[in-house]
Chain A
Amino acid sequence: MAPLLEIRDARRTFLTPEGGRLAALDGVSLSVEANEFVTLLGPSGCGKTTLLRAISGFEALDSGTMVLDGADLSALPPFRRPVNTVFQSYALFGHMTVARNVGYALEVAGVAKSQREVQVAEVLEKVGLAGLGARRPGQLSGGQRQRVALARSIIAKPRLLLLDEPLSALDRNLRQQMQLELKSLQHALGIAFIFVTHDQEEALTMSDWIVVMRAGKIEQIGTPREIYRQPKNRFVAEFIGETNLFPVTVDRVEGGDALARTADGVELRLPVLGRKAGEQVTAILRPADFTLGPTGIPGRVSRAVYLGSDLYLFVQPQAGGPEIRVIARDNQDAREGSAVHLSHDPARVHVLEAG
């Protein structure tokens, strides 16, 4: 079956005020299946909004194709595209009631008033705003406005919903709650979501697929686990979560593991598959991949941060080199200054070819 949305080699260049050219989209290809939750993740300015606006029709592409449900999108003006958007600023109509805001797509499509009212009530219920239809957006809290924007964009049952950093204005608790709600709403509605964020935690929690972007290009597409455990390059590895990067030279293959060493002499065990003695690679280990024990890399705790059930440790290896970040259970006897050994499971090490 053909994907719901298929973008091929999308390019968009802006002229900068200085007279230069800036490729906001530099050959982006992406396909989205029906009912998927896809997140565009990347640092500010990497082209996420531009890509979203190209799909909704507010930004034209210089070249490339976009096909939605078998129809070429480039020929359609924004108001004819079966795509709806949740805007970062919410963009609620302040002169209309909440109910009229929510029913706007139906009103414009010519749906009869009585029928509209039924659907509006239904959607308001779905987003947890039942009974607030008579209010004005100005009389709502930030979280409630967010829900109105959401309700308004799903009432016409689009095939695809675009969300541009919709949670960035909410405080942390509300945000985490909305993350879960959005995810279950997406599931219940059966609408594909393309969700933009620069927050990697948000991306990991919500997505079926994460698309990591940098400077107008896609760096990697994968499930949250793939992106986290098997980043394709240093950029992805460092952008997603806390990471320890070790540029190492493979020493020898011994039993089931490959032994490797940093320039400073820190020893690591890598998965043996495909390793040859003498090659240079980068080994990636997440803080939680280390355990404190009687054997392993010897070092000294230079800083310990209490996280509740866990301890976040900065360990200076005895051999030298950068500190290693470790998350350990709080029941271990590690405090600042204590000598520790860090061991790890070779299978948890992700190897980037060519250091």
Chain B
Amino acid sequence: MRNPYGWAALTVFSLGFFLFIYAPLFVIIGYSFNSNPVNMMIWEHFTFDWYTGLFGLSDRETGVGNRAAYVESTDQMLAALRTSLTVAVFTTTISTVIGTATAIALARFKFRLRGFYNGFLMLPMMMPDIVLGIGLLIFFVTVGMNLSMLTIIIGHCTFLTSYVFIIVQARIAGLDPALEEASADLGASEWVTLRKVLLPQLAPGIMGGALLAFVISMDDLVITYFVSGTGDTTLPIFIFGMIRRGVKPEINAIATLIILASVVIAALGLWLRSRKTD
């Protein structure tokens, strides 16, 4: 039945495809262990220095002689990472709560302009980042808000709420409405039904939405670029600024750690989704 040539071609094609996707990541991981501080493309020897340096365990910082070439210090990089994490945690919490509540309200209560709300909640997802970024900036300036971590969080929430909403909504749509009726039938008030049946049933969707929001918030560059002030810099913006002057080897180590974290989060998300609830 099987055509051996077709099969071989398919194998080569898929290998090539995976290489295309993952090669850049492996290059970064490789570079993060290269001890050459000047040119990371020339292999010197294996080192953990860039990792230990990140955590202040090593004083070898990009070589003394080359220090002047780099404006940024490792401390600044870690501060940026901290800002990113703080923003991501707040953003994830807020947008998950609002997105979930909205999805439940739109699915379970009938009110005027329901279709209208539905459409408008999709919009921030489809709007180009650059438009959303400019819009937010103009808004903050108009209402007289200083750009800070707060404006970054507000900016992220505007579109991440939509992401959570859409994921949770898909989960609700697939839910048998008889479950909630059964709960009421057995004597549970609406509040108890929400707590004991609806939220646990939606949990995989809510967790999935939250993880996605977290990852996107950590990753966002364009919108953050517009709404962040001079004080608070997130990691993507820090890296972006750094690249224009030349890449510090520590960045490879950070990138590798982020890849590792992403893999863990993605695996967690997949595991949560695969957990059968019925």
* A binding-site residues for B, Cβ under 8 Å: 56-58, 77-80, 83-85, 87-89, 91-95, 104-105, 107-109, 137-138, 152-153, 156
Contact = CB atoms under 8 A, between A and B. Distances in A.
Contacts of B197: 93
Nearest to A162: B185
Contacts of B185: 56, 78-79, 83-85, 153
A93 B181 contact: no
Given A93-B182, A108-B192, A156-B187, 15 more contacts: A56-B185, A79-B188, A83-B185, A85-B185, A91-B178, A93-B183, A94-B201, A94-B277, A94-B278, A95-B201, A104-B183, A104-B196, A108-B187, A152-B186, A153-B185
Contacts of B179: 91, 93
Q: Of residues A89, A91, A138, which shows the largest number of chain B Cβ atoms within 10 Å of its Cβ?
A: A91
Contacts of A137: 278
A157 B186 CA distance: 11
A142 to B, nearest CB: 13
Contacts of A56: 181, 185
A147 to B, nearest CB: 15
A87 B184 CA distance: 12
Interface in B157-212: 176, 178-179, 181-189, 192, 196-197, 200-201, 203
Contacts of A92: 182, 278
Contacts of A94: 201, 276-278
Given A85-B182, A104-B186, A95 B200 contact: yes
Given A108-B192, A137-B278, A91 B181 contact: yes
Nearest to B277: A94
Given A91-B176, A94-B278, A84 B181 contact: no
A105 B187 contact: yes
B182 A79 contact: no
A255 B203 CA distance: 79
Interface bin, chain B: 20 to 34
A107 to B, nearest CB: 8
Nearest to B199: A95
B278 A79 contact: no
A58 to B, nearest CB: 6
B186 A84 contact: yes
Interface in B59-98: none
Contact of B181 (A87, A95, A107): A87
Interface in B120-140: none
Nearest to B177: A91
A94 B185 CA distance: 17
B181 A58 contact: yes
Nearest to B180: A91
A155 to B, nearest CB: 9
Contacts of A108: 183, 186-188, 192, 196
A91 B187 contact: no
Given A94-B276, A95-B200, A95-B201, A87 B182 contact: yes
Nearest to A136: B276
Given A91-B176, A94-B276, A156 B181 contact: no
A104 B200 CA distance: 14
A59 to B, nearest CB: 11
9 contacts: A79-B187, A87-B178, A87-B181, A89-B178, A91-B182, A93-B179, A93-B200, A94-B278, A156-B186
B225 to A, nearest CB: 42
Nearest to B203: A95
B189 A79 contact: yes
B227 to A, nearest CB: 39
B24 to A, nearest CB: 40
A85 B189 CA distance: 16
